[in-house]
Amino acid sequence: MPQISQFAESWYAASQIFWVLLTFGFVFFVIGRGMLPKIEATVDARDRKVADDLAAAKSAHAAADTLEESYRQQSDASRAAAQKAVTDAKDKAAKDAEKRLAKIDAELADKLSAAEADIAAARTSAMAEIESVAAEAASDLVAKLSGVKVGAMDAQAAVKAVLHG
Amino acid sequence: MADQGKVDPMHQFEVQKMFDMFHVGGHEVAFTTSAMWMIVAGLLLWIFMIGGMKRQLVPGRWQVAVEGFTGFISSMMNANIGPEGRKYTPYVFSLFMFILMLNLIGLAPLGLFGVHPFTVTSHFTITGFLAILSFAIVLIVGFWRHGLHFFSLFVPHGTPWWLLWLIPVIELVSFMVRPFSLALRLFVAMTAGHVLMKVFASFIIDGLAASPAIGLGVGIPSMALMVGISGLELLVAGIQAYVFALLTSLYLNDAINLH
């Protein structure tokens, strides 16, 4: 086994140790101490950036949620306000209509009663006219049929008795 | 090669001297094949990591690959040690990537291009160095953070008083064995896998040398097995690098959090 047999040669161990010291020293100081921390820093920076971006995205998401919530509340509130305004307007319109109707009703009732009163007056006057006309007609009929002159008062009383039962 | 026409499965582990360099304390330091492949691994790793340095917010494919490796080790450190483990991530990451790269280079089919790859992690001088380094860091961190209180590591929670003479001894032995198990596990796994592949390869060559009938009868199943074992070895290359890094992080957890 050369690993053991060469150990006896004086140059072997010295050369091996010298060169491993030199090359491993290069690897340790240039690569391990020089390059590795920079690569690790890059990885750390990336990890931090990813974590930061994720946190920013999360907070933006939360902000969007609250914004949406407030928007929803606002729209609810404005919808409720609009509904209230509509019902108020409806109520007011209904009340106005009622008031106007009541007024018109009253006017109509007034007109009706006035008309009724007119009609009643007209009827009484018509009745009175009918009585006098009937009395005249009756006295004329009696005079033509029997030739008896009936007094206006008598004729009128007789007609009244027939008309009013 | 031992003999012409024979495959020596251990030859691949021989470190070849490429040229001499200088002397340190009576020992000669040479540029070797092992050194060359370690440098190649370091450079490949560096090039790989440069692809991850674009630092884009939305990463490309290469950057995702690099960040996958760094994230893998970072999350392992975080899971095993906690937030304090971040300080030690560069060391464990370097260890994991360096071992992984060396293991994979050893398996690269570079022989097709006339280059013979060498598995650096199949030598216990290398794995032992890395294991002792990890163990030393554990000791330094442990004593630095907890002082002599670090010795309470050898008395686990809930130890009955009448076992106090035995448990610390067992704990001490298991603690002291750590660097050896760490070094040997990687070295043995790499060596065994490569020996196995060379043995199967030698079956094909030896069979063909004997006769074409034997060569086909032995060679085809051997080749099929080698394909499977190559896949398995790729898995082992990753797992052994991971185990080395994982155990280092667990030992560091002992030193940092102390129970």
pLDDT at A97: 92
Rounded Cα gap, residues B62 and B69, in angstroms: 11
Identify whether the C-beta of residue B13 lies closer than 8 Å to the C-beta of residue B194: yes
Across the interface, of B11, B55, B94, the residue whose CB is closest to A27 is B94
Integer Cα distance of B201 and B12 in angstroms? 13
A44 touches chain B (CB under 8 A): no
Is residue A25 within 8 angstroms of chain B, CB to CB? no
Quote the CA–CA distance of A20 and B38 in Å, as a whole number. Answer: 7
| Three-state secondary structure of B28-89 | EEEEEHHHHHHHHHHHHHHHHHHCCCCCCCCCCHHHHHHHHHHHHHHHHHHHHCCHHHHHHH
* Beta-sheet pairing, B17-24 with B27-32: antiparallel
- Average of per-residue pLDDT across A70-99: 94
Question: For residue B91, which residues of chain A lie inside 8 Å, CB to CB?
Answer: 28, 32
User: What H or E segment, with its residue span, contains residue A95?
Assistant: helix A36-146
Name the residue among A23, A30, A48, A22 with its Cα closest to residue B53. A30
Average pLDDT over residues A16-41: 93
The one-letter amino acid code at A149 reads K
- Identity of the amino acid at B214: I
Evaluate if pTM is beyond 0.90. Answer: no
Distance from CA of A56 to the nearest CA of B (A): 18
CB distance A36–B93 less than 8 Å? Answer: yes
Closest CA to A156 of A145, A146, A142: A142
Both structure tokens of B92: 């464990």
Are the C-beta atoms of B194 and B162 separated by less than 8 Å? no
Among A5, A11, A46, the residue to mutate for chain B (most B Cβ within 10 A): A11
| The pLDDT value given to residue B1 | 38
Q: What pLDDT score was predicted for residue B152?
A: 85
CB spacing of B57 vs A46 below 8 angstroms: yes
For residues B163, B165, B167, B172, the Cα torsion angle rounded to the nearest 10 degrees is 170
Q: Is the Cβ pair A15, B32 closer than 8 Å? A: yes
Which distant-in-sequence residues (6+ apart) come within 8 Å of B144 by Cβ?
none
CB contact under 8 A, A35 and B98: no
CA distance B14 to chain A (A): 5
**Closest CA of chain A from B27, distance in Å:** 6
pLDDT by residue, tens only, chain B of 259 residues: 344 556 788 888 888 888 888 887 778 888 999 999 999 999 999 999 998 888 888 888 999 999 999 999 999 999 999 898 899 999 999 999 999 999 999 998 888 888 888 999 999 999 999 999 999 999 999 999 988 888 888 888 888 888 888 889 999 999 999 999 999 999 999 999 999 998 998 888 888 888 888 888 888 999 999 999 999 999 999 999 999 999 999 999 989 988 6
> Please, how many CA atoms are within 13 Å of residue A104, restricted to the half-sphere of its CB?
6
Binary contact (B17, A11; C-beta < 8 A):
yes
